[in-house]
Structure 1
Amino acid sequence: MSQVDITVVIVSYNVRSFLDHCLQSVRLASAGLAVQTIVVDNASADDSAAMVAQRYPDVTLIANRENVGFGRANNQAFELARGEAVLVLNPDAFVQEDTLRRLLERLQASPEAGAVGPKIIKPDGRFEPRSKRGFPTPWVAFSYLSGLAALFPRNPRFSHYLLTHLDPDREHEVDALSGCCMMVRRDLLQRLGGFDPDFFMYGEDLDLCYRIHQQGYRIIYSPATRIVHFKGESTRRSSIDHDYHFRRAMRLFVAKNLTGSASVLARGLITLGFWFQAGERRLVFALSKAAFPLADIFILNLLIYLGRWIRFMDPGYTATVWAVNALYSLFYLGSGLALGVYGRYRFSGRRALYAALGGAAVAAAFTYFFQQGAFSRFVVLWFAAGTALAMPGWRLLVRRFVRRPSSSGRRWMRRRVLIVGTDDLARDLCLRLMQDPASDLHPVGYVAFQEDRVGDIIAGAPVLGRAEEMDRIIQTEAIQEVLFSSSEASYDRIIKLIQNLSGRTLDFRIIPRETGGGEDGFPLLRLEMTSKRRRK
């Protein structure tokens, strides 16, 4: 049996496009190494297992008939592992070309190191703080869950869970790594029995790192190499109660690894922290629901004030005026509620206009039958005209500058896109976007990696400059999204370019190699959702 350097284990659930991209990156990173790759599919409904069997015949595939959970599925692969080290890798991540080699070298350089993990980057270029973590002791768990860690991220007294007080660009010995990408010695992993299967999802990586420490090994965070993690794609596609499993995992970790009064105190503080967290979520939810009617009430009363000031030059407020203002507000709010303006159609300018006209009609009828509540005909007409303009107007502005455009507004609100690369994959994508009337993406042009391509016209779009000039091009061309052709740019270069642009408000997408065309088209991988989901 030949010597294997690394066994890469990937557990997948309903993330076919991401898994395909992940396996492509692992294949590139395997150059010069003997790598065994094992994919465990947890009963995906998107033909992930069939894709792996067809496109990656060299990959060992385990197709489960049910979702057995992250830890248990990994343990299935650990039993087949033959590598000196085992890399646990999430399917919604991709590695640099040097990731496998650098992590293995770091593990080999320190016999006392039991596990090593890379710097994890979010797809918008920002650092993922869960790359390095501390154990959730009673105080650490309470500081994190109560929000104290977020208020004081540089204070080690409060920030020990995410270790935000440590420089992410320097190597550190830490308590725990992220199960998104973590390399462990195979003999140690097998001695520990892999992940504890009692953790269905969340917490199994913390528990494994805790047991590695108990064996006397160190755990190393190494930013010498990086990966990009789209985070949560598998869980987002399931009906699993994530909050329940997270709370369960935290309590299970405490019950398993802490004893006596420390365990009782930890459970109490964790429960208190969850209460703080739940209260914060409810408050944010309530404020988000109240934001639209409160904004409308403010605008309504401002319009009435201005109308009375123009008409009477003295908008003095009496009890009667306050009562009539309240009634006018109720007329509009009632009309808006009936038309769904504070629900599903809260960004609809047309429905806001209908609500304004309906509210004005009711107000006019009210003043006709109840003369004592009438300001004047001018104020009523001012109210009608003002609400008809202001209510749809501010919604359209928010939709234009804050919220992503809806399908109905794509034709005149298409997002300006810059394509990084000038190869056939980039050209084909540009053609598809130009020819697709339903697409919300408008290709402005390309950036090239070769100087001699600048100024060329490819598929009807110009090559605007070199990759080194992206920051200037993005600013001058008002670019909103950047698409990378991964068949021309290395993953290492893509990650560096994303990090260099992390200060800008941009969306980044990646066109995977070997997309295959056909029904799938181009599975553009992005930080929040795929392009197909945006069209729903």
Structure 2
Amino acid sequence: MRRGRDAEHPGGGRESAGAGRPAPDEAREARSRAIPRRRGEGLAGDSPRAQASRLIGVEERNPCSRPEPKVTFVVATRNRERYLPGCLESIERQAYPNRELIVVDDASTDGTREVVSSVSPSAILLSSPKQLGIGGAYELGLARAGGEIVVILDDDAYLTDTGSTHLIARRFTEVDDLGILCFHVEAPDGTTRAKENVRRDKQVPQREEEIAYFLSGACAIRLSALRRIGGFPLDFEVAATELDVSFRLLESGYRILFAPYIRVVHLDVATEEKETRREFYLVRNNIWLAARYLPFPFAQVRTLLWLGWGMISGLRSGNLAQALRGGADGLARWAELRGEGWTVSSATIARMNALSGRTWY
């Protein structure tokens, strides 16, 4: 059995997991830079099936119209040897030759390495001896990415169609200011769970449209755009990572598009650690978001709302201590985060609200 190319990550931890947040002056400079122009027609008038057919049809009529850009798949995993094969197999089945796969093993103690070697022997396997959290694991993989287009999939999710990568690459080639393409995520029974709906009004878009939020475990990212805004947050571990990136991406002038023609099935396998600390991460991280990005008085109002939500949710779930700790940790860094220089403009807040974005939760 041939192993993938292993690269031991010696440092572990947040500092060694890729680029951090830009300094305040760099953040202000990033917001003032020229934004790429849009080009290419949108697909808003078509159904999901028609959108996919139209994109494929154009390529079939013009097979040599442009070179295929390299696409990098990044899968971060931890102790999911039972579910990881389905994810990797869906990537291996993609009918797109110019691609690579990077699997980040976030300090697993099961047979993750053997699964990768068996299912995807040509994958780049990056192993961290220390648990990095979701942002750190992503950044470790992104640091090795060879493609400008990066597809991120949860380790318990899989692409349903073999032509998905082809459609993803074409859309990024057409739309210059496209920062993130968010996929349509479904449960195994074909339904859309509320927490995986990208709109505040819970309406699943049936056509490609601009949105203000994305799902990090089912999306494609323009790597240069992510680097420009400082990458994924390394201090969140879990919860609200996507909203943190969304604030910075939209403030810098990029767009997030929902692509109903790219479908992903997500098993959404819960872990004991995630469930027992759910209130802690949600309360702490959302208070940090308020302090870091929202202007007065929205920052103060959102902070109070999440403190109240944490108390109610903690009482209902029996995790009140976790909610209280999350609130305390969130408030402890409030002044520090407020001074980072990433407070978004009122125009960005209005834009997110107009797009039914998750400004408040």
TM over 0.5: yes
CA distance 1:240–1:222, shift in 2 (3 Å): same
Residue 219 in 1 paired to residue 256 in 2? yes
Alignment of 1:18-417 (within 5 A): 18-29=83-94, 31-96=95-160, 97-133=162-198, 160=200, 163-164=201-202, 166-233=203-270, 235-236=271-272, 241-281=277-317
Q: Which amino acid aligns with 1:177?
A: F
Deviation at 1:45, TM superposition (A): 1.4
After superposition, give the CA deviation of every residue in 1:93-130 in whole Å (9 maximum; x if it has no partner): 01022222222222222212211111100112211344
TM-score of the superposition, structure 2-length normalised? Answer: 0.65
* 3-state SS of paired residue (1:209): helix
Bigger radius of gyration, 1 or 2?
1
- Residues 279 and 313, structure 2, Cα contact 8 Å, conserved in 1: no
Deviation at 1:267, TM superposition (A): 0.4
Matches of 2:273 and 2:308, distance apart in 1: 30
Matches of 1:92 and 1:37, distance apart in 2: 16
Deviation at 1:169, TM superposition (A): 2.0
Deviation at 1:5, TM superposition (A): 1.8
- Residues 4 and 82, structure 1, Cα contact 8 Å, conserved in 2: no
CA distance 1:214–1:239, shift in 2 (3 Å): closer
**Consecutive unaligned residues in structure 2, runs of 5 or more:** 1-66, 319-361
Deviation at 1:61, TM superposition (A): 0.5
* 3-state SS of paired residue (2:148): strand
CA distance 1:227–1:211, shift in 2 (3 Å): same
Matches of 1:4 and 1:57, distance apart in 2: 22
CA distance 1:98–1:128, shift in 2 (3 Å): farther
Corresponding residue number in structure 2 for 1:16: 81
Structure 1 stretch 97-106 or stretch 56-65: which is displaced more?
97-106
**Consecutive unaligned residues in structure 1, runs of 5 or more:** 135-159, 283-536
Q: Which amino acid aligns with 1:210?
A: F
Matches of 2:178 and 2:78, distance apart in 1: 31
After superposition, give the CA deviation of every residue in 1:344-389 in whole Å (9 maximum; x if it has no partner): xxxxxxxxxxxxxxxxxxxxxxxxxxxxxxxxxxxxxxxxxxxxxx
Alignment of 1:435-450 (within 5 A): none
Matches of 2:287 and 2:207, distance apart in 1: 32
Question: Taking every aligned residue pair, what percent have the same amino acid on both sides?
Answer: 24
CA distance 1:124–1:236, shift in 2 (3 Å): farther
* 3-state SS of paired residue (1:268): helix
Deviation at 1:81, TM superposition (A): 0.7
Q: Which amino acid aligns with 1:82?
A: G
Deviation at 1:70, TM superposition (A): 0.5
After superposition, give the CA deviation of every residue in 1:59-107 in whole Å (9 maximum; x if it has no partner): 0001111211000111011111111201111100010222222222222
Matches of 2:276 and 2:204, distance apart in 1: 35
Structure 1 stretch 198-207 or stretch 98-107: which is displaced more?
98-107
- Residues 152 and 219, structure 2, Cα contact 8 Å, conserved in 1: yes
Matches of 2:266 and 2:191, distance apart in 1: 11
Q: Which amino acid aligns with 2:121?
A: P
Deviation at 1:54, TM superposition (A): 4.1
* 3-state SS of paired residue (1:103): helix
CA distance 1:55–1:225, shift in 2 (3 Å): closer
Matches of 1:215 and 1:33, distance apart in 2: 32
Deviation at 1:216, TM superposition (A): 0.3
Corresponding residue number in structure 2 for 1:411: none
Matches of 2:93 and 2:312, distance apart in 1: 45
Matches of 2:78 and 2:122, distance apart in 1: 20
* 3-state SS of paired residue (2:83): helix
After superposition, give the CA deviation of every residue in 1:203-249 in whole Å (9 maximum; x if it has no partner): 1111112211011011111101211001144x347686232122222
Count of aligned positions: 251
- Residues 99 and 227, structure 1, Cα contact 8 Å, conserved in 2: no
**C-alpha root-mean-square deviation of aligned residues, in Å?**
2.2
Deviation at 1:280, TM superposition (A): 4.5
Deviation at 1:266, TM superposition (A): 1.0
TM-score of the superposition, structure 1-length normalised? Answer: 0.44
Residue 7 in 1 paired to residue 72 in 2? yes
Deviation at 1:178, TM superposition (A): 0.7
